[in-house]
Amino acid sequence: MRIVITGASGFVGRLLAAALLRARTFDGEPISRLVLADRVAPDVARVSDPLVEVVHGDLVECLDAVFAEPVDVLFHLAAAVSAECETDFDLGMHANVDTTRALLEAARAQSVAGGPLVRVVFSSSLAVHGSDPMLPLPPIVDESTPPVPQSSYGTQKLICEHLIADFTRRGFLDGRVVRLMTVAVRPGKPNAAASGFLSGIIREPLAGLPTTCPVRPGLRVALSSPRRTVQGILRVAEARRGTGPGELNGRMPVHLPALTVSVADMLDTLRQMAGDAAVDLVSISPDPAVEAIVASWPAVFDNRRAAALGLRPDPNFLSVVRDHLADHADAVTGPTG
């Protein structure tokens, strides 16, 4: 089985690749090749694995290399993120819409030529949802809630969702869409995502560094830990098609399970884990542009569809921080409880 991950050098891409390399199998079959595709070269440790093949460069320009041999499963994680899409519309359209369309066409060409039907797993976002004066968000959002994105990023993700659904309806590929919650706590340096501060207000103080929170503490958000996010992506990818228990029914996206917390809750957890000195490193400095994007996203989700696949949200934010500490102890310099 030849599996491709686009955006393989990104945070979720690295975790997904690591999970597949540990398992050496997917859906009960051995992995023959794991293709890591990204504009950024992967780390040396992964390249040295005999299963790994690297495709380095702009995806649209590298499709011949990605599809040089038949592709069985394609995890499409590559994307420009929320704030940069709002700043640079053309960048977002190319990275998110044009690239996705090109990948889908390549998968279609493979099946039309008699190759295997590609299972395409696409990482969408809760940002497809938003509130409109004529269609406000309900208190609890599920997959049947009409998506009304309030950012270019959310709109681009929604366009891709519809493209994948139609390519699937036409029998060109087997598309599965997962809508990711905000993934936190992420290690490493901040990225251009509007939600990046939700990791920064925990990660930086734990490392003894000051950071800024650009939203009001009372803002509620929907989060998923890195561990639960990768678990959800793989579960949806491997699910059997059908209408029975634990099967994937229809072409609708699946919301990965969400943990709802406020920013104040997150800071209280930081205080519990690392004391007042860590919380004092967080400066509340409202940024209307960032809050406009993040506050437009729903915070409370009905998780029943994910639960039917055996998925559950993180039990609380304390468990999320503990997972982060366990996985990235070398990045923590301050005291923890």
Hey, which residues are catalytic here? Answer: 153
What rounded mean pLDDT belongs to the chain? 95
Instruction: Give how many domains the chain has, as a whole number.
Output: 2
Same domain, 246 and 264: no
Q: Categorize the per-residue pLDDT at 190 as very low, low, confident or very high, splitting at 50, 70 and 90.
A: confident
Residue pointed to by tokens 């490193």: 281
Same domain, 157 and 294: no
**CATH number for the domain that contains residue 240:** 3.40.50.720
Whether residue 186 lies inside any domain: the answer is no
Same domain, 28 and 160: yes
Same domain, 126 and 165: yes
Handedness of CA 256, 260, 263, 268 (dihedral sign): negative
The Cα 101–Cα 106 span in angstroms is 9
Q: Categorize the per-residue pLDDT at 286 as very low, low, confident or very high, splitting at 50, 70 and 90.
A: very high
* Domain around 210: 194-220+258-331
Same domain, 119 and 144: yes
Same domain, 151 and 169: yes
Lowest-confidence segment of 41-45, 110-114, 329-333 by average pLDDT: 329-333
Tell me what pLDDT residue 333 has.
59
Lowest-confidence segment of 14-28, 34-48, 273-287 by average pLDDT: 34-48
Domain boundary, last residue among 255, 272, 304: 255
Whether residue 188 lies inside any domain: the answer is no
Whether residue 337 lies inside any domain: the answer is no
Backbone angles phi, psi at 9, to 5 degrees: -95, -5
Tell me what pLDDT residue 43 has.
79
pLDDT, tens only, 226-271: 999 999 999 999 999 999 989 999 999 999 999 999 999 999 999 9
Half-sphere exposure of 137 (CA within 13 A, CB side): 22
Cβ 253 vs Cβ 129: under 8 Å: no
Indicate the pTM of the whole model: 0.95
Domain boundary, last residue among 212, 239, 255: 255
Tell me what pLDDT residue 239 has.
97
Same domain, 8 and 19: yes
**CATH number for the domain that contains residue 297:** 3.90.25.10
